[in-house]
Structure 1
Amino acid sequence: MGAGGTPPARASAPTPRQQHPAQLHPGAWWLWSLSLGTAATRTTNPLLLTLLITTSAYVVATRRPHTPTARSYSAFLKLALAVLLVRLLFALALGSPIPGTHVIVTLPEVPLPHWAQGIRLGGRVTAEGLLFALYDGLKLATLLICVGAANALASPARLLKALPGALYEMGVAVVVALTFAPNLIADVQRLRAARRLRGRPDSGIRGLVQVGLPVLEGALERSVALAAAMDARGYGRTAAVPAHVRRTTTALTLGGLLGVCAGTYGLLTAAGGTYGLPLLLAGLAAALAGLRLGGRRSLRTRYRPDTWNVRACLVAGSGIAVAVLLTVAATTDPTALHPTTVPLVAPTLPLWPAAAVLLGLLPAFIAPTPVSAPAPAPEEPS
């Protein structure tokens, strides 16, 4: 009872909007992340690649949801660092095809048989070769970090709900493959925390061996549970459609994909510039129509589907703008985006490509703020 004998006021029930806060469409996050990765493939300038990494990291830090899979971003950072170190190690041990005059160190060279000509182990290590390996490895590391940002910002399971019905079966396989790494990382973190609480080693060879078996066992149990859930939900069941609809769907899909391939080839060649774009657009239209018809065979419903709104358009558009602008910059000013290592020169930061990369920061300001789970309210004394 409250003061004066009045009963305490009950808290009003949360509305559906409060129970399920607004979330950005997962397709927007994946388009944004993959567009940044596409931009990373257009340059080897370490300053621009570092700016791309910083942009994705800032957006992840400010808009990452409070879910177990969102913690996989740090693992992708470690994987990218490992890829970069391996690329440098290969350049040290196997040499580099880039000629150089600035010798850093001369390693003992292992003689190889005549059939292994063109390959060497050891020998001279030049600054030009190491710098070329650094640029090349940093580009691949940036691409991995952008994929990690997509996994951290939007769960692939949510993206599966937005796929067309004709791509549902293929999408399930892709989602299972994409969620394997985040689930594995979450299992490893959970088991290592449990071993630390019990005073057992969680690092080194011994800790890795003792954690590996429970992780593999959990992955097997999760696979069996997924198979049972898919079977219970009628996975693979298709609706009966007329034969002419099936033939039309096949013709549109295959013809559209062939048109996309031919149109893309025409755009990439100098002689096919006249017919490339119309053929590409016609192929896309035919493929989308085929997917639309093919979705009639998929018997499934969507619970609380994600909506594509203005924010999703702006987030996806900011990433696409970065990819398009860096592609244009790579064509108009290739020297700035691909600094040379022979002769050895210091890379410079081109101004307008750097400003284009900063457009990728837009989701940090317009995307919905992730909401953590509310803490339980303390009970009032009776």
Structure 2
Amino acid sequence: MRSHSAKPAEPAGSRAAGAAPDPKRGGTPQARASEATLRHPHRPAQLHPGAWWLWSLGLGTAATRTTNPLLLTLLIATSAYVVATCRPQTPSSHSYSAFLKLALAVLLIRLVFAVALGSPIPGTHVIITLPELPLPHWAQGIRLGGRVTAESLLFALYDGLKLATLLVCVGAANALANPSRLLKSLPGALYETGVAAVVALTFAPNLIADVHRLRAARRLRGRPDRGVRGLLQVGLPVLEGALERSVALAAAMDARGYGRTADVPPTVRRTTAALTLGGLLGVCAGTYGLLTAEGGTYGLPLLLAGLAAALAGLRLGGRRSLRTRYRPDRWDARAWLVAASGAAVAALLTLAAEADPAALHPGAVPLVAPTLPLWPAAAVLLGLLPSLIAPKEPS
């Protein structure tokens, strides 16, 4: 009898669904799709890091135009909400909480200085009277201790809260924008300066990430991670890790030919230097003209001409930089909207400070309760636009 070998069973739906192998391309459509996925992995859309920095600088500029604690608190809440909804899953994104703690420390230090060293703000509502230390005659204007009034504390609170808001806005930029991605968008002439700035900006986030990692490791081993003892035992590994990271960065930069420049004609070098230096002088002269009453007529044209010359010089100087950009970030419509929202907040609060200075700068003498002006508060809420249009990573 002739034995018949059984054919192996085919996967369900393989032939029935028309998934026959393609002799020209090889493999089934499912296999080709898997291969294409491996070759071109899905990369989630990301916003240009420059847009995040412009947005945060706009909020910081708005914070400098007011001392109203309600508006400053609204600016902090706006930046915190955008960071909570839009920050990527990177080590630098966890630095926002450290900036919040730093802002709180700055506010407390400002209040302590107002209590211990006194304040030039006069007041009649005395809270406490501290023992005053006598100082020599050459230290006139400085006192240690004495009366602490409610007016002086309120003035110190307004002043410290403004500085704290600036720190929070800078922390939002550090959490939302990856400095390494921002470096790719710089002109070639500023590449070396940008590398130094990126290394300086990434030092604090990497240091904070190392501290969190080492504290978690100590907790898993049942060792103390708080107090002076825990801080001393964590500090040495953190410094050692920073040194190893610096050595690895230097080796990587040397291996990639950092600092290598291309040969350009002497005429191009001289033209680049003249345009850059002349443009910077024009920017300085134009800014001075805008800040003075006599130079209002020539200030703006000189500023624009200086900016154009400086940009032309930077573009020519980029010819000396031998570098390529891998997957450059695109400045799309969403980046324009995010940057415009921060600029709109800064512009509207600047106009509000000129139109109604009493609402944006509540007085401490006499004591008055600050009120929330409606349309400046609505202008601050424009800073929430990135939470609606910025791409978000899947959780």
Q: TM-score, normalised by structure 2?
A: 0.91
Q: In 2, Cα distance between the equivalents of 1:15 and 1:351?
A: 53
Match of 1:367 in 2: 390
Structure 2 counterparts to residues 1-382 of structure 1, below 5 A:
6=11, 12-13=33-34, 14=37, 19-372=42-395
Residue deviations 1:9-53 (CA, integer Å, cap 9, x gap): 868433877621110000001110111111111111101100100
Q: In 2, Cα distance between the equivalents of 1:142 and 1:7?
A: 62
For 1:83, the aligned partner's letter is V
Q: Determine helix, strand or coil for the equivalent of 2:97.
A: helix
For 1:93, the aligned partner's letter is A
Q: In 2, Cα distance between the equivalents of 1:230 and 1:334?
A: 51
- Maintained 8 Å contact 1:109/1:122: yes
Q: In 1, Cα distance between the equivalents of 2:233 and 2:79?
A: 35
Count of residues in correspondence between the two structures: 369
Residue deviations 1:248-279 (CA, integer Å, cap 9, x gap): 11111111111111111111111111111111
Structure 2 alignment gaps of length 5 or more: 1-8, 15-29
**What is the Cα deviation at residue 288 of structure 1?**
0.5
Match of 1:380 in 2: none
Q: In 2, Cα distance between the equivalents of 1:181 and 1:263?
A: 36
Task: Kindly name which structure, 1 or 2, has the bigger radius of gyration based on alpha carbons.
Answer: 2
Structure 1 alignment gaps of length 5 or more: 373-382
Residue deviations 1:293-332 (CA, integer Å, cap 9, x gap): 0101111100011000000000001001111111111122
**What is the Cα deviation at residue 371 of structure 1?**
3.0
Q: Determine helix, strand or coil for the equivalent of 1:256.
A: helix
**What is the Cα deviation at residue 156 of structure 1?**
0.9
Q: Determine helix, strand or coil for the equivalent of 1:19.
A: coil
Q: In 2, Cα distance between the equivalents of 1:243 and 1:302?
A: 27
Q: In 1, Cα distance between the equivalents of 2:344 and 2:39?
A: 35
Q: In 1, Cα distance between the equivalents of 2:298 and 2:285?
A: 9
Please, what is the CA RMSD of the aligned residues?
Answer: 1.5
Q: Percent identity?
A: 83
Q: In 1, Cα distance between the equivalents of 2:148 and 2:12?
A: 81
Match of 2:25 in 1: none
Match of 1:378 in 2: none
In 2 relative to 1, CA 320–371 (structure 1 residues): closer, same or farther, beyond 3 Å?
A: same
Q: In 1, Cα distance between the equivalents of 2:168 and 2:40?
A: 33
Match of 1:377 in 2: none
In 2 relative to 1, CA 206–350 (structure 1 residues): closer, same or farther, beyond 3 Å?
A: same
**What is the Cα deviation at residue 115 of structure 1?**
1.6
Q: In 2, Cα distance between the equivalents of 1:338 and 1:198?
A: 52
Residue deviations 1:165-207 (CA, integer Å, cap 9, x gap): 0111101111111111100000000000000000000000000
